[in-house]
């Protein structure tokens, strides 16, 4: 597993490093390293100010840009460079690590023998701290999968999470300090916001294009992946290949998503459109019993075979870099909850109009919908029938799911941060098959550009993602631009569960049941009902299955081995 990190070494103290370290940098106040060569690393130093910095990730930051930032009066926040990356800053005796505002690259830390170590992988740090799975974290996750927003804890005991938009800082004395460094930008005129959003998306794609001769992209037929894919095709360098991949059932060769994808790819010079037909042996819930251990349950767990086959096919076409549209929905799509945000900003008439529209779409009364919106924000949600009383109790009294630190200005980013953090697990899984998975909609520059749209221009029941349809009006085909939603997947999941029911039922008696989190009898009953085709709350039950699969993988796998000091004196964690 590829990851990067470092150790605070104030006063020339010792350092912990993982095995298979490929690159490292030593400074008087810190030691920074990576375990692979997949990231772009940029270093700069201003000795006269006793400052140095490292940028690690997918970016195009030049040494001159980084040096210019370091020469500023007080570099308390990195510049908004394109890409997805982590910035490490040394300023005199103080070292800071900046976590991005969407958690595209979550940063974790732990303390062992008085030494503070940080890394981009909580699972890696668990091997150093000898930490087990954090049951409070799992309880909070399965109680409220959609609203789960851990404040500062990871899925492992004794491994902390740096909140999105905060920095981890250590000076000459005392414990590490976490401080906020990022705030959402102020909205601007819609035309300026649209121009800025187009620039940000284009720059984000350019960063990825510079990291591979052959780049693959999802082309699902939806707005998000189609936008990134067509931008990549239009901005590719001469001779550079763009592979557009579309997944579809083997017995369906036309209609729905597939037609929209073909319309987008038709006649595009420099783009090869690859369709990936999937039979029953790649249905949801197939082959999910095992897999590599990652930082937390991955969103792709239920459809892992489908993802692996897709990655293998684009890799066979020469791709080492794959661009995903993940994060686009969380960043751009508004739902009924947007009504309450409009009310808080005094837009009463607009809020009432939108509420009526959302009520018609959901086929409920306006009063009922408003009640549902208010109730969905409560933290004391009723536990699901397959959960025991323990998860609700521990989630309510634990700091893991505590949102007290979330300011009003951050409320709209909770979903995006959750997508970013969980998408990192998918990035780690793709890395195991040799593919770098990138999610440009989670880039800081793209997030800030999207947030510059006024609230009244971020969508409504009658406008689906107007930010992207106006910004890329000359890029997207008219049919895709007018599309309001993608095809549903409920039928696939019912069928997949029916095919794999015997193996999935065995998952009910495992880690979660052994820790008193679920009632296996009730869970098995619910799975049988879902397999029969009855209406199923997939968003509640699939995270339970994913958590079980993940916990088994963690306990069956091996976390990275750590060594004391760069000389590898033989002392191991």
Which of 265, 256, 193, 195 minimizes the C-alpha distance to 226?
A: 265
How far is 27 from 54, CA to CA, in rounded Å?
11
Q: Flag whether pLDDT at 567 surpasses 50.
A: no
Q: Is 158 left (phi over 0), alpha (psi -120 to 50) or beta?
A: left
Cα pseudo-dihedral 143, 144, 145, 146, rounded to 10: 170
Section 294-320 average pLDDT: 91
Average pLDDT of every residue of the chain = 87
How far is 285 from 110, CA to CA, in rounded Å?
35
Which of 382, 385, 381 minimizes the C-alpha distance to 522?
A: 385
Q: Report pTM.
A: 0.92
Q: Which residues contact 317 (CB under 8 A, 6 or more apart)?
A: 214, 216, 241, 243, 272, 274
57-61, 454-458, 504-508: least confidently modelled range: 454-458
In this prediction, residue 381 has a pLDDT band, given cuts at 50, 70 and 90, of very low
How far is 284 from 486, CA to CA, in rounded Å?
18
pLDDT value, residue 363: 81
189-198, 434-443, 474-483, 560-569: least confidently modelled range: 560-569
308-317, 337-346, 473-482: least confidently modelled range: 337-346
* 421-434 per-position pLDDT tens digit: 888 889 988 988 88
Asked if 163 contacts 413 with a C-beta cutoff of 8 angstroms, the reply is no
* 172-181, 184-193, 272-281: range with highest mean pLDDT: 184-193
How far is 414 from 164, CA to CA, in rounded Å?
10
Name the DSSP class of 176: -
* 102-160 per-position pLDDT tens digit: 999 999 999 988 889 999 999 999 999 998 999 999 999 998 888 788 878 999 999 99
DSSP helix/strand/coil, 324: coil
Q: Flag whether pLDDT at 405 surpasses 50.
A: no
pLDDT value, residue 172: 65
DSSP helix/strand/coil, 467: helix
Question: How far is residue 141 CA from its own chain's centroid?
Answer: 15
Q: What is the enclosing helix (H) or strand (E) of 112?
A: strand 108-112
Which of 503, 531, 520 minimizes the C-alpha distance to 385?
A: 520
If you search the block for the tokens 């017995």, which residue do you land on? 251
Q: What is the enclosing helix (H) or strand (E) of 496?
A: helix 490-499
How far is 431 from 124, CA to CA, in rounded Å?
15
High-pLDDT (> 70) share of the chain, %: 91
Which of 528, 478, 476 minimizes the C-alpha distance to 500?
A: 528
Adjacent-strand bridge partners of 178: 168
pLDDT value, residue 471: 94
Whats the size of the chain, residue-wise? 573
Q: Flag whether pLDDT at 380 surpasses 60.
A: no
Phi, psi at residue 284, to the nearest 5°? Answer: -50, 145
How far is 10 from 326, CA to CA, in rounded Å?
39
In this prediction, residue 270 has a pLDDT band, given cuts at 50, 70 and 90, of confident
């Amino acid at each position: 597993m590829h990851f990067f990190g470092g150790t605070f070494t104030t006063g020339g103290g010792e350092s912990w490093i993982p095995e298979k370290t490929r690159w490292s940098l030593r400074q008087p106040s810190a030691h920074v390293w990576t375990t692979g060569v997949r990231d772009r690393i940029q270093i700069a130093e201003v000795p006269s100010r006793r400052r140095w910095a490292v940028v690690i990730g997918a970016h195009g930051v030049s040494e001159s840009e980084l040096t210019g930032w370091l020469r500023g009066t007080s570099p308390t926040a990195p510049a908004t460079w394109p890409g997805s990356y982590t910035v490490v800053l040394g300023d005199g005796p103080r070292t800071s690590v900046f976590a991005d505002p969407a958690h595209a690259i979550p940063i974790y830390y732990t303390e062992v023998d008085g030494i503070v170590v940080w890394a981009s992988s909580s699972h890696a740090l668990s091997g150093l701290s000898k930490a087990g799975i954090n049951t409070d974290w799992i309880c909070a996750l399965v109680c409220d999968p959609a609203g789960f927003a851990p404040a500062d804890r990871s899925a492992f005991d004794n491994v902390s999470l740096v909140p999105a938009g905060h920095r981890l800082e250590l000076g000459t004395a005392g414990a590490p300090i976490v401080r906020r460094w990022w705030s959402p930008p102020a909205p601007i005129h819609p035309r300026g916001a649209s121009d800025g959003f187009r620039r940000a998306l284009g720059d984000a794609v350019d960063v990825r294009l510079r990291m591979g001769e052959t780049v693959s992209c999802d082309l699902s037929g939806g707005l998000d992946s189609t936008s990134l894919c067509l931008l990549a095709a239009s901005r590719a360098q001469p001779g550079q290949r763009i592979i557009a991949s579309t997944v579809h059932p083997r017995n369906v060769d036309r209609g729905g998503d597939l037609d929209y994808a073909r319309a987008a790819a038709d006649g595009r010079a420099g783009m090869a459109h690859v369709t990936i037909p999937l039979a029953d042996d790649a249905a949801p819930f197939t082959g999910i019993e095992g897999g590599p251990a990652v930082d937390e349950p991955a969103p792709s767990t239920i459809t892992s075979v489908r993802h692996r086959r897709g990655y293998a096919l684009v890799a066979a076409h020469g791709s080492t870099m794959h661009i995903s549209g993940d994060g686009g929905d969380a960043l751009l799509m508004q739902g009924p909850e947007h009504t309450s945000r409009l009310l808080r900003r005094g837009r009463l008439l607009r809020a009432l109009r939108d509420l009526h529209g959302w009520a018609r779409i959901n086929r409920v009364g306006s009063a009922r919908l408003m009640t549902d919106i208010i109730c969905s924000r409560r933290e004391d949600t009723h536990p699901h029938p397959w959960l025991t009383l323990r998860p609700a109790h521990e989630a309510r009294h634990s700091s893991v799911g505590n949102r007290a630190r979330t300011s009003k200005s951050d409320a709209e980013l909770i979903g995006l941060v959750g997508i970013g953090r969980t998408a990192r697990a998918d990035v780690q899984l793709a890395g195991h098959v040799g593919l770098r998975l990138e999610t440009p909609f989670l880039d800081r520059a793209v997030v800030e550009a999207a947030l510059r749209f006024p609230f009244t221009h971020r969508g409504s029941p009658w406008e689906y993602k107007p930010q992207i349809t106006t910004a890329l009006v000359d890029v997207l085909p008219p049919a895709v631009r007018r599309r309001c939603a993608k095809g549903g997947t409920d039928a696939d999941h019912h069928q997949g569960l029916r095919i794999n029911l015997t193996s999935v039922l065995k998952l009910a008696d495992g880690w979660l049941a052994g820790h008193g989190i679920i009632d296996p009898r009730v869970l098995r009953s619910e799975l049988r009902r879902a397999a029969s085709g009855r209406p199923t709350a997939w968003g509640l039950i699939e995270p339970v299955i994913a958590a079980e699969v993940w916990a088994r993988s963690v306990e069956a796998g091996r976390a990275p081995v750590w060594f004391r000091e760069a000389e590898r004196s033989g002392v191991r964690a």
